[in-house]
C-alpha cells in the first residue's frame, strides 16, 4: 500500500481545519483513490484518510463505498449513452454517424476520464458492476449497429463483423485513458481537439480497410 499523496481533485481548494466537501468533489476524490489503488482494495477508512475527514463525515454524503462506485459508473455511462443517442438521432449518412460516434466517444473520455477509467477496469464482482458492464455492452452493440449500417452503405470494410469492428474501435479509443492527459505540458502535447482529430483519423483508416 502506498502512502496517501496529495489528491489532485483536492489540491487548489481552500483548506480548512476540517475541509467541507460538496458531494461532487468528494466523489471525484474517491474515484481517484479507486483508480490508484483498485476499488476492491480501497476501504472507507482509506477514503477518509485521503479526504482528511472522518468516515462518518463521508456517510453524510453517501451511503456506502458501492454507492460511490455506482454514481461514478452512472456518470460515465450516462455521458457515453447521451453521446451515441445524439449521433443516432442526428442527421448524416451511416458512415458519417460512425465518424461522429468516434469523435463523441473520445470527447466523453476526456471530459469524464476518471469515471470512464473506473468503468473500463470493472471485473463484475458485484451486481452494481455487472449492471454497469451490461450497459457498456449495450453501448458497444449500438456502435456495432452504426457500423453495420455503414457496411451496408459500403463506406466501412465488410471483412470483419460489425460487433468485432466496434470492439476494435473501442479498444483503440479507450486506450487514450492510459496515455492522454488533457492538461499535459510535455513537448508535443496535443490539445483535446487535435487528439480527437488524430485518433479519429487512425480509427477511420482502420474501418476503411
Nearer to a second copy, 14 or 171 (CB): 171
Told to check if 165 binds a second copy by CB under 8 A, we report yes
Residue by residue, DSSP assigns 66-119 as HHHHHHHHHHHHHHHHHHHHHHHHS-S-HHHHHHHHHHHHHHHHHHTHHHHHHH
| HSE-CB for 135 with a 13 A CA cutoff | 21
Q: Cell numbers 476494435 label which residue?
A: 168
Among 23, 121, 106, 114, which residue's Cα sits nearest to residue 76? 114
Site string for a second copy, 185-204 (x = CB under 8 A): ---x---------xx-xxx-
Q: Which letter does DSSP use for residue 43 in this model?
A: -
Site string for a second copy, 105-144 (x = CB under 8 A): ----------------x-x-x-------------------
Site string for a second copy, 44-83 (x = CB under 8 A): ----------------------------------------
96/146 Cα distance (integer angstroms): 10
Q: What is the smallest separation between the CB atom of 60 and a second copy, expressed in angstroms?
A: 27
Told to check if 209 binds a second copy by CB under 8 A, we report yes
Sites of contact with a second copy (CB under 8 A) = 1-2, 35-41, 121, 123, 125, 157, 159-161, 164-165, 167-176, 178-179, 188, 198-199, 201-203, 205-209
Amino acid at each position: 500500500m502506498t502512502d496517501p499523496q496529495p489528491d489532485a481533485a483536492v489540491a487548489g481548494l481552500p483548506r480548512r481545519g476540517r475541509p467541507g466537501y460538496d458531494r461532487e468533489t468528494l466523489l471525484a476524490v474517491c474515484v481517484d483513490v479507486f483508480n490508484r489503488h483498485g476499488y476492491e482494495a480501497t476501504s472507507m477508512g482509506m477514503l477518509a484518510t485521503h479526504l482528511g475527514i472522518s468516515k462518518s463525515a463521508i456517510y453524510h454524503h453517501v451511503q456506502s463505498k458501492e454507492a460511490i462506485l455506482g454514481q461514478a459508473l452512472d456518470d460515465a455511462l450516462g455521458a457515453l449513452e447521451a453521446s451515441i443517442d445524439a449521433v443516432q438521432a442526428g442527421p448524416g449518412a451511416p458512415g458519417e454517424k460512425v465518424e461522429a460516434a468516434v469523435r463523441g466517444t473520445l470527447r466523453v473520455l476526456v471530459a469524464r476520464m476518471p469515471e470512464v477509467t473506473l468503468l473500463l477496469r470493472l471485473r463484475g464482482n458485484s451486481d452494481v458492476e455487472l449492471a454497469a458492464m451490461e450497459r457498456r455492452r449495450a453501448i458497444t452493440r449500438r456502435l456495432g449497429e452504426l457500423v453495420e449500417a455503414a457496411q451496408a452503405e459500403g463506406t466501412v470494410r465488410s471483412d470483419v463483423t460489425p460487433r468485432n469492428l466496434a470492439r476494435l474501435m473501442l479498444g483503440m479509443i479507450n486506450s487514450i485513458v492510459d496515455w492522454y492527459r488533457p492538461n499535459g505540458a510535455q513537448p508535443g502535447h496535443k490539445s483535446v481537439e487535435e487528439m480527437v482529430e488524430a485518433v479519429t483519423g487512425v480509427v477511420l483508416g482502420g474501418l476503411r480497410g
